[in-house]
Every structure is written in C-alpha cells, then in structure tokens.
C-alpha cells in the first residue's frame, strides 16, 4: 500500500488565535513528525498573524501562513489556497478549533489508501470545558483515563468510548454515498483526487454543505470513503453556531449534483493556480532545528 511521505495539514482559521494555538500545540506533540502545517486564514486580523509568528518560532515542522482578505465566510477558498500552498501529496483538513490527539497524524497515515478519502471524527467539548482549556492551557492530548471519564460524566464531552478504543483499518469503507459524518473539520484526501474534481467549490454562498459537495463529487469521480471513527478523533472546542441562512439552498445544490453525478467544482483550485506561482499571500516559516 502506498503511503505519502509528507502529509500536509491545512488548518482553517478566522479570528480565534487562542483556539488556533491549542490546535497547533497539539500538532507539535504528534508521535509522527512527517507532516507540514499550512494555516489557511480566512481574513483574520493582526492578533492571529502575531500568534502564528510566535508558534512558528518554536515549530519543528514546516509551517506556512496563507492569508486572504476578509470578505465573508470563504472557508472553501481558504482550503483551496491552503492546498495549493502545500507540498504533501496527502492533505488532512483540520479546523482551527479542533485539537488533535497525539496519534492524529499516525492514524490518518495508517488509514490512507489510494482511491479513498478518510472522513475523520470529533469529540464535542462543552462551553465550560472549552473556556477552561483555553484559559488554563490544558493539554487535551495528555488527559488521563480518569479525566476523560470525569469530563464525560459531567457532560463536558459528548462521548468518550472513541477516546478509549482504537479500531483497526477494517470495516471502514462506505461503498454508497452517505451524508453521515462528513466534516471538513477533519478530512483526509489525496491531493491528486482534489485536483481531479477541482477542489472545494467556492460558488457556495454562506455556511453549509460545501464539504458534502466535495465528498459527493469525489464519489462520482470514483473515490470511496473510509470512516475515521475510533482512530482519528479530535477535540472540537465549543463555539457559537454560524449563521445558516443558506444551508437549505446549499443542500439542494448538493442533492442536484448527487442526482446529476457532477464531479467538477464551478470555482475551485484551478482559479487560484496563478496566484501560487508567486506564493501570493503566503508567509513560509522555516522549522526550528
């Protein structure tokens, strides 16, 4: 089985530097160091830029900051531009409020397989525990068994079994398209497959279902899906729900594309390739040796 030598972790962020710092700190502690970090910034202000510079000064893996102007919710564009800035042939998309466990990279590497994507899994944190984690800099990757059970009992974690059990790469393949557990906050895709379908579709308006759209187009292009539960769990920090005014119309587009077997994004990777000939909007930090 072919494995990517370098994995590119593309982290989307917008004006939440404390959460972003917790995510990047979690990546610094990974067992598997064969990865790079691309921070795909959807228009954050100087506080985030300064946070990234401070993190980069301590990073032992390559780290890049890709910024675009703030013009509303444009996570699809940020992910596309992050992909184009990446050097790896396997991309793991991670949101800037999803803190990885120590074996996050190792588990994605174990599950990656040509012809498949991996839809990762998450554990939701309560508002109270999120506030403590960020204020007290609690290392979620080092929680003891007692801590995990206590937080679950108090309702600070929405589930715990997935943190205690690791399931092997068996019985994970979904041979039919399903809406269940499609989350671009934790998603592993071969770069060649992203290029095949022109990446995320930036023609979607507002929040909602651009991740489902990517997965359904990849499915029509012959890319099947593996379920990353009981292997790839991240700690999803609490946040207020985004405005979902366009959710129903976006879902309708995905349903139409599912019926029409659409594979190509209307506006995607190809529309940004010229920018990255000169690394537009990208700050490339060298890892600390």
CATH number at residue 110: 3.90.550.10
Is residue 283 a part of any domain in this protein?
A: no
- The three-state secondary structure class of 173 is strand
Considering only 80-94, 190-204, 251-265, 270-284, which range has the smallest mean pLDDT? Answer: 270-284
Residue 208 — very low, low, confident or very high, per pLDDT cuts 50/70/90?
A: confident
| Predicted pLDDT at 283 | 82
Whether the pLDDT of residue 141 is over 80: the answer is: yes
DSSP 158: S
User: Which residues on neighbouring strands pair with residue 226, listed in sequence order?
Assistant: 118, 173
Provide the token pair at 180. 């269940």
Helices 46-56 & 17-28, crossing angle to 10 degrees? 20
Judge whether 199 lies within some domain: yes
Asked whether residue 217 is assigned to any structural domain, the reply reads: yes
Tokens 């990865």 locate to: 35
The pLDDT score that the predictor gives to residue 174 is 84
Q: Which two tokens stand for residue 282?
A: 């990208």
- The predicted structure's pLDDT at residue 14: 96
Statement: residue 289 has pLDDT above 60: no
| Least reliable range by pLDDT among 10-19, 95-104, 153-162, 244-253 | 244-253
HSE-CB of 236 using CA atoms within 13 angstroms: 18
Please count the structural domains in the chain.
1
pLDDT confidence of 274, banded at 50, 70, 90? confident
Cβ-based burial of 221 (10 A; exposed 0-12, middle 13-18, buried ≥19): middle
pLDDT on residue 3: 65
- Domain contains 282: no
∠ CA 232-34-219, nearest 5°, is 50
What's the predicted TM-score (pTM) here? 0.94
The answer to whether position 41 is within a domain reads yes
Tell whether the model's pLDDT for residue 36 goes beyond 90: yes
Q: CB-side exposure of 144: number of CA atoms within 13 Å?
A: 3
Evaluate whether residue 288 is within a structural domain: no
In sequence order, what DSSP letters do the residues of 185-250 get, joined into one string?
TEEEEEHHHHHHHTSS-TTS-SSS-HHHHHHHHHHHTT-EEEE-TTTS-EEE---PPPP-TTHHHH
Q: Hey, what are 227's tokens? A: 């379920």
Res 244: pLDDT? 54
Query: Does 1 map to a domain?
Result: no
Q: Does any domain span residue 284?
A: no
Three-state DSSP class for residue 81: helix
Q: Tokens 């000939």, residue?
A: 277
Enter the tokens of residue 287: 């890892």
**pLDDT at 223 (0 to 100):** 96
Distance CA 106, CA 216 (A): 26
Mean pLDDT within 242-268: 84
Beta bridge partners of 98: 236
**Domain ranges, residue 47:** 7-277
CA distance 284 to 178: 38
Residue partners of 146: CB distance under 8 A and separation at least 6: none
- What pLDDT score does 175 carry? 84
Q: Strands (DSSP E) along 82-165, which ranges? A: 90-95, 98-100, 116-119, 122-124
CA pair distance 269, 200, nearest whole angstrom = 7
Average pLDDT, the chain: 92
* Cα–chain center distance at 193: 16
Question: What is the reported pLDDT for 249?
Answer: 82
**Cα distance between residue 164 and residue 223, in whole Å:** 30
d(CA 23, CA 21): 5
Confidence at residue 242, expressed as pLDDT on a 0 to 100 scale: 61
Query: If residue 182 lies in a helix (H) or strand (E), which one and from where to where?
Result: none
């Amino acid at each position: 089985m072919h494995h990517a030598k370098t994995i590119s972790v593309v982290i989307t962020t917008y004006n939440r530097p404390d959460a972003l710092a917790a995510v990047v700190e979690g990546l610094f502690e990974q067992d598997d160091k064969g990865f790079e970090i691309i921070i795909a910034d959807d228009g954050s202000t100087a506080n985030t830029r300064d946070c990234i510079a401070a993190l980069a000064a301590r990073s032992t893996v390559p780290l890049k900051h890709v910024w675009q102007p703030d013009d509303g919710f444009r996570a699809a564009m940020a992910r596309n531009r992050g992909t184009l800035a990446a050097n790896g042939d396997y991309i793991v998309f991670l949101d800037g409020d999803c803190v990885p466990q120590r074996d996050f990279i190792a588990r994605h590497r174990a599950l990656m397989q040509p012809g498949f994507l991996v839809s990762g899994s998450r554990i939701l944190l309560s508002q109270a525990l999120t506030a403590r984690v960020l204020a007290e800099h609690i290392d979620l990757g080092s929680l003891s068994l007692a801590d995990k059970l206590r937080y679950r009992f108090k309702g600070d974690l929405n589930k715990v079994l997935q943190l205690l059990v690791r399931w092997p790469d068996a019985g994970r393949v979904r041979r039919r398209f399903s809406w269940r557990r499609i989350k671009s906050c934790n998603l592993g895709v071969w770069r060649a497959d992203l290029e095949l379908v022109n990446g995320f579709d930036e023609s979607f308006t507002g929040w909602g279902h651009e991740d489902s759209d990517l997965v359904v187009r990849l499915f029509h292009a012959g890319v099947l899906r593996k379920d990353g539960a009981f292997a790839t769990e991240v700690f999803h920090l609490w946040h207020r729900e985004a405005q979902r005014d366009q959710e129903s119309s976006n879902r309708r587009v995905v349903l139409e594309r599912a019926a029409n077997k659409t594979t190509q994004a209307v506006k995607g990777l190809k529309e940004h390739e010229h920018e990255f000939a000169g690394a537009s909007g990208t700050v490339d930090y060298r890892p600390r040796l």
